[in-house]
Structure 1
Amino acid sequence: MKIIRWIAGITVAAIAALAIWLYAPDKPRAALEAAYPGEYRTVDGTRLRLRDTGPRDGPAVILLHGFGASLETWEGWARPLSARYRVIRFDLPGFGLTGADPTGDYSDARAVQLMAGLMDQLGVARASVIGNSLGGRIAWTFAAQQPDRVERLVLCDTAAVIGPASVWNERVAGIRKSGLAAIAPGVMERWFTAPFRAANPVIMQGCINMVARNTLDGYVGCALAVRDADLRADGARIAAPTLVIVGDQDPATPPA
């Protein structure tokens, strides 16, 4: 794997969230779908919400968001990239307006299957893939398993193994006991530095709402999938030129 490591001053999640849209968790689903732009494609029985912008004949770029987030976290990247590239982003199963996967399978292999199927539907044979956090794990797996479909790869704040199993077990237990709304404020402490949180209360509330409105089953399913996954063997199979970006204050995936 060809790697350039850029140690960023703050996490990519913090940068992306500067353009976060304010989710209202008490709105019915129909109102949310009407309020937030996107189209829907059903891939292997799962209804995916996506945005496909930029010239259709331009080089394709796929943006994969992080754990608990949605495609809106890439808004600040998608707009400038769309001037030249065909930019595709979608809510990963378990999150955003895609919601729970009816199969109950949130493994990286399932995500790769859905991503390949979506590319087929959109007529995209090959793309550069950029993934953050959970999206980075999926991008990593996709590049290893389907190298002919990846032009270039960017992995943002991700790792082959994220945290010990005990961390995920505690998080899942807390969610099942108290719900997503109860744990959402604590998630902000992992996503953003204390100075950023203090200076950006509107962004913080928007991100709290975004986490809280995810489906419980999807959130838990993804947490357990991350807990059980180990991508270290896949690293040697990645052939695409790869850029690794790490936030020097990211507690979940700190620089090695």
Structure 2
Amino acid sequence: MTASPVSDNPDDHDPQAPDREPQVRRPRRRRRRIIASTVLLVVAGALVGNTAMVNWQDADATGNSILPLEGGNIYVSQDGPRDAPALVLIHGLGASTSWWDPVVPMLASSYRVIRIDLLGHGRSAKPAGGGYAIPQQAHRVGQALDRLYVKHAILVGHSTGGYVASALAEQRGDMVTALALIDTGPRMDAFISGGPVGQLIDVPVVGQLLWRLRTDGIIRRGLSTAFAPGFTAPQQLVDDTRGMTYHALTATSHASDDYLTQRPLPDRLTPLGKPLLVIFGEQDQRWRSSSAASYRAVADARVELIPGVGHSPMLEDPPRTATLLLTFISSVLGGR
């Protein structure tokens, strides 16, 4: 009798035939190994790709991000070419990265512009505890720059931001190439006044009550000393101040006073040997503009007074402020 062909139906196979079982199972086992190996390769590739994407996003010089740092998350905004020299802009008390908006387009055409919301300000964390001391704020800025792979940077600080920039230069001299300070008071006896609202805010109980009841009108009166008489603060600046907690506002203010009381700024900067640009508005209502001359004690410091401008030149006269910064930066980098 002629043997019938092997059926494709597993039910037709003879269970007593030992040679048929391996012929069916080996291909299946092989397929399983191939599928498992493929899945592992896909997962590994996804993990590597995700790591590369995170690293790229951290290093990218365009866009906004939140960096989780010790003490709280810090908001960072970046503009300009990623491979250009880094220029770090640090705002003052009650402000945020938005205070630099008018000058960023002029600066970002040639430099990697990095703006940071200090702890307690803007979109950064506002903890109820500590972390607001100037050296701590500076340390946090340094950490943020490390996360962004910035090894060298020119720092520009406005008012309180100038103290943070100076403290970072004290801590990380290898990172800070040069400093530009905008209406940053050199010593406490140069302080004029924070205005009636500023004085009341600092009074226990009264200040807390005033802060709870704050309206746009109250905030605008408080901000009026941040500009020359007649300048109207944009709504965004009002919103920046409103978004702060009472604790963050007063703790940062006291931290600035403590830092300056411990040692005048020219005395701190002199031993650092960093190129220095000082910009002051002649009509500054918070610090005597004549006190800018104190910075001449720092070797080769450049001091520029802008007429018709108050405490915030980058908002009141953006073209003039940007031009002074660009000229300074060009001279610093050209001499390296």
Instruction: Provide the TM-score with structure 1 as the length reference.
Output: 0.76
Match status 1:187 vs 2:219: no
Q: Matches of residues 171-250 of structure 1 in structure 2 within 5 Å?
A: 171-173=201-203, 174-179=206-211, 181-182=214-215, 183-197=218-232, 203-230=233-260, 231-232=263-264, 233-250=267-284
Deviation at 1:155, TM superposition (A): 0.3
Match status 1:143 vs 2:169: yes
Name stretches of at least 5 consecutive residues in structure 2 with no aligned partner: 1-62, 292-336
Equivalent of 1:254, from 288, 306, 316?
288
Comparing 75-84 with 178-187, greater Cα deviation is found at 178-187
Q: Whose Rg is larger? A: 2
State the SS of the aligned residue for 1:196. coil
Deviation at 1:176, TM superposition (A): 1.3
Whole-Å Cα distance in 1 between the matches of residues 219 and 103 of structure 2? 24
Give the number of the structure whose residues are more often strand, by fraction.
1
Whole-Å Cα distance in 2 between the matches of residues 164 and 223 of structure 1? 15
How many percent identity over aligned positions?
A: 27
Whole-Å Cα distance in 1 between the matches of residues 247 and 239 of structure 2? 17
Contact 2:201 2:211 in 1 (8 A): no
Equivalent of 1:69, from 83, 89, 95?
95
Q: Matches of residues 93-108 of structure 1 in structure 2 within 5 Å?
A: 93-101=119-127, 103-108=129-134
Question: Which residue is 2:105 aligned to?
Answer: 79
Question: Which amino acid is 1:196 matched to?
Answer: F
State the SS of the aligned residue for 1:178. helix
Question: Which residue is 1:23 aligned to?
Answer: none
Whole-Å Cα distance in 2 between the matches of residues 190 and 141 of structure 1? 25
Deviation at 1:52, TM superposition (A): 1.6
| Equivalenced residues, count | 215
Question: Which amino acid is 2:288 matched to?
Answer: P
Match status 1:155 vs 2:181: yes
Deviation at 1:90, TM superposition (A): 1.1
Whole-Å Cα distance in 2 between the matches of residues 227 and 136 of structure 1? 13
Whole-Å Cα distance in 2 between the matches of residues 160 and 110 of structure 1? 20
Question: Which amino acid is 1:112 matched to?
Answer: A
Contact 2:158 2:182 in 1 (8 A): yes
Contact 2:72 2:127 in 1 (8 A): yes
Match status 1:43 vs 2:77: no
After superposition, what is the alpha-carbon deviation per residue over 1:207-237, rounded to whole angstroms, capped at 9, x for unaligned? 2222112122211211221232224241223
Contact 2:227 2:285 in 1 (8 A): no
Instruction: Provide the TM-score with structure 2 as the length reference.
Output: 0.59
1:228–1:102 Cα change, 3 Å: same
Question: Which amino acid is 2:159 matched to?
Answer: S
Question: Which amino acid is 2:237 matched to?
Answer: C
1:161–1:177 Cα change, 3 Å: farther
After superposition, what is the alpha-carbon deviation per residue over 1:191-213, rounded to whole angstroms, capped at 9, x for unaligned? 1223223xxxxx44332222112
